[in-house]
Structure 1
């Protein structure tokens, strides 16, 4: 590919307020991600006219300029040279942006930093679990029978897929322990060990805890007269999150105060022993109760009023994406799966992805400007595959009525599938491929939900554009 026009990069720098307004900058696959001192200095009208710019938006303290895959790398190289800024990692830019946020934004960022790195494992597990569901669940291709029942030679193949797919969910505390301890400044290796401790096979498996308690068969430790249940935390989120924070702080403290020659003998053993005892005595039992309250509250809401729960979550989810608060629900989805082996929230999220993509796709037909058509088309495909930020920030929010069309449609779709009890066995697969994470018995209902968000946002966006004709012609030409 030919080198980019340096003058266009100069204009980008000028229109975001000049190099003195830029605190830090990095890039992702398609966008420049900038932290600005004052975003009010951005000349949006002229920035939009730069030939390299396909859109822009502000999110989580970062001003992001959509350039395009491949080109953004070259633009960033010229950008660094012209501004004199050193190259920064995404994490460094996020850290600088976080300094501008309030306590809630900082807390959400912490959760995002913990869960986003483990998403590839969760997505992979979800896809493979979908393949296993197709092979092992009855009634999909044969009446009351599964593929492996009709063709037993496939049973071993399906079981191996299940083991591979289920590992990430069975050992979820290990993944969270690694990521959380790293985020809190401790040794990631100790986080892995902590996760393994919490799912040790000598402990009562969390999935069978309710039955074991009803039968009075939960094993216990006797600590000088104090009985402590030997309970594991398979599939749980909150216990390992809080324990990881404690472990990281102890680890950091000991590494600062123990001489280098003794750290190998002191830091790991002491940190794990103290955290382990605290986890089994206090952190685990308390957070397990809290997790059960959250789970029971959500399940109760969707049992009592599924149409309201589905409509509200479907309507609000994309709004939460704007604020970054959607990262909170990664933990909630994982907790639901750990406690009930399924989640009713993720199917609604998948419909929200599709709705945003459909609204952006409608703008492809409404817009007259070639650049906007290109951005609308690429961002709609991205949203249909589960990545909605380009569609939300680059297209739908920019013209407002496509965003309203999408969230109204997602609310209707969410209400519909919630009334029918649609659930997913895994998370991480959004958009159109999200059907692979849905329990097969709900595929028909989910397909109707998909049809709703593939048709209704397009029609609403088209209709709304007619009522906003003057604005549309002025902004989309």
Structure 2
């Protein structure tokens, strides 16, 4: 324990002293800190501490990578030394958000909404990948799927597909829960709002373009289309914000004794009418416009789209802006049946892992080797922050070579028209989410993302040492 205490003291000193620390919490592997002035951090001293495996700043938080298990012990000593008291992740986020500009706050809000529902979406993506393997023609047999040949497996595939599709069919319910919670309202009302937008009595959004006679309500002479918003993101996001604000407004003005009877019904009624009359139709058109914009770029300039998004996606991760594209991916999947953006995300993660793996092979520093090796595996499985912030950005050239490899891979797969039917694990297992007909092209892109960053980083590191 004395070593843990000593390391905690060294961390506090390297962070600029306890007077520079506003609040502190931790996750599974990292200390998550709100600092008054990040310019006072001595990064060299911090990363020279044995227990510290890396550090980085993101979204106003300064994070110190310690490792699973050990971080709990370090945090306990850290709190005792600084006297800051134990903070929750929300406390840290609130403290960190004070430093952000309006655009950063908007991006952070999107991240706070989508990150909690990612496990459900990724799990659904993996299960849809299994279904794709069973139902995709040409994988096991020429021009036939596995279930075409083995018909006794068809019902198993059907059950898997139902389980996988649930998160996407009721996506507005998931977003409604998370968004209303983020905006300060009652999460339960958010769930009801989201499910209301995909009620079975409404015309399914996926059938909207196929139906000539769209059912309508007649509200005192005003026709309102009875259309659901399955798979849509913008309608429930905006409606959730409106619901939360109406609920908070009413709670301040209605006596406590009447809140149970009045607040929720009035909030849902007003938001529901606004959702179907104004918010839904407008945001549905905006969502379709965003989809058409991205589709037109990649239809007409596929190589350019692959170069830009594939090459610069990792920079979006650094700024935190990558979370905004999750909404675009979901919109593309809903409107076109697949996304051409997410496959490049998976290859970008692989490229960062390959660059970190090259540093593991090229370095003689035992601490760096340990961090690079574990972070490379993590990146290959879709978690790139340890590799990017702990290794690649620290030395710069691995990060640049990873971007180059990812850009080349992005060009190859976009020209080939590779798309993902769902959002899965953004690394090597990502092929499960790719439409089976594009597996060959995706594996070529994966090979480029594996080899190019590794070779460039490894040989540059060797040449740099020889000088």
Q: 2:253 aligns with which of 239, 251, 257?
A: 257
- TM-superposed CA distance for 1:54, in Å, is 1.4
User: Who is 2:134 aligned against?
Assistant: 135
8 Å CA contact 2:362, 2:462 repeated in 1: no
Write the mapping of 1:105-120 to structure 2, written as runs, cut at 5 A.
105-120=104-119
- What TM-score comes out, normalization by structure 2 length? 0.98
Once residues 431 and 228 of structure 2 are traced to their aligned partners in structure 1, the CA distance between those partners, rounded to angstroms, is 31
Once residues 433 and 186 of structure 1 are traced to their aligned partners in structure 2, the CA distance between those partners, rounded to angstroms, is 37
Once residues 237 and 4 of structure 2 are traced to their aligned partners in structure 1, the CA distance between those partners, rounded to angstroms, is 47
What do the CA deviations read for 1:439-476 (whole angstroms, capped 9, x no partner)?
Answer: 111111111111001100011112332453379xxxxx
3-state SS of 2:425 partner: coil
- TM-superposed CA distance for 1:144, in Å, is 1.3
Write the mapping of 1:4-23 to structure 2, written as runs, cut at 5 A.
4-23=3-22
Matching of residue 376 in structure 1 with residue 375 in structure 2: no
Write the mapping of 1:14-413 to structure 2, written as runs, cut at 5 A.
14-212=13-211, 215=212, 217-413=213-409
User: Who is 2:419 aligned against?
Assistant: 423
Once residues 44 and 189 of structure 1 are traced to their aligned partners in structure 2, the CA distance between those partners, rounded to angstroms, is 44
3-state SS of 1:51 partner: coil
Once residues 2 and 126 of structure 2 are traced to their aligned partners in structure 1, the CA distance between those partners, rounded to angstroms, is 38
Once residues 278 and 320 of structure 1 are traced to their aligned partners in structure 2, the CA distance between those partners, rounded to angstroms, is 34
8 Å CA contact 1:4, 1:71 repeated in 2: no
- TM-superposed CA distance for 1:293, in Å, is 0.7
What do the CA deviations read for 1:352-376 (whole angstroms, capped 9, x no partner)?
Answer: 0000000000000121110000000
What do the CA deviations read for 1:234-265 (whole angstroms, capped 9, x no partner)?
Answer: 00000000000001111111112111221121
Once residues 378 and 141 of structure 2 are traced to their aligned partners in structure 1, the CA distance between those partners, rounded to angstroms, is 34
8 Å CA contact 2:4, 2:73 repeated in 1: no
8 Å CA contact 1:194, 1:276 repeated in 2: yes
Once residues 431 and 141 of structure 2 are traced to their aligned partners in structure 1, the CA distance between those partners, rounded to angstroms, is 19
Once residues 55 and 222 of structure 1 are traced to their aligned partners in structure 2, the CA distance between those partners, rounded to angstroms, is 61
8 Å CA contact 2:185, 2:244 repeated in 1: yes
3-state SS of 1:430 partner: coil
3-state SS of 1:5 partner: helix
User: Who is 1:450 aligned against?
Assistant: 446
What do the CA deviations read for 1:214-251 (whole angstroms, capped 9, x no partner)?
Answer: x2x10011111111111110000000000000011111
The size of the alignment, in residue pairs, is 467
Q: Which runs of 5+ in 1 are unaligned?
A: 472-477
- TM-superposed CA distance for 1:3, in Å, is 7.0
Once residues 137 and 337 of structure 1 are traced to their aligned partners in structure 2, the CA distance between those partners, rounded to angstroms, is 18
- TM-superposed CA distance for 1:4, in Å, is 4.5
- What TM-score comes out, normalization by structure 1 length? 0.96
8 Å CA contact 1:19, 1:83 repeated in 2: yes
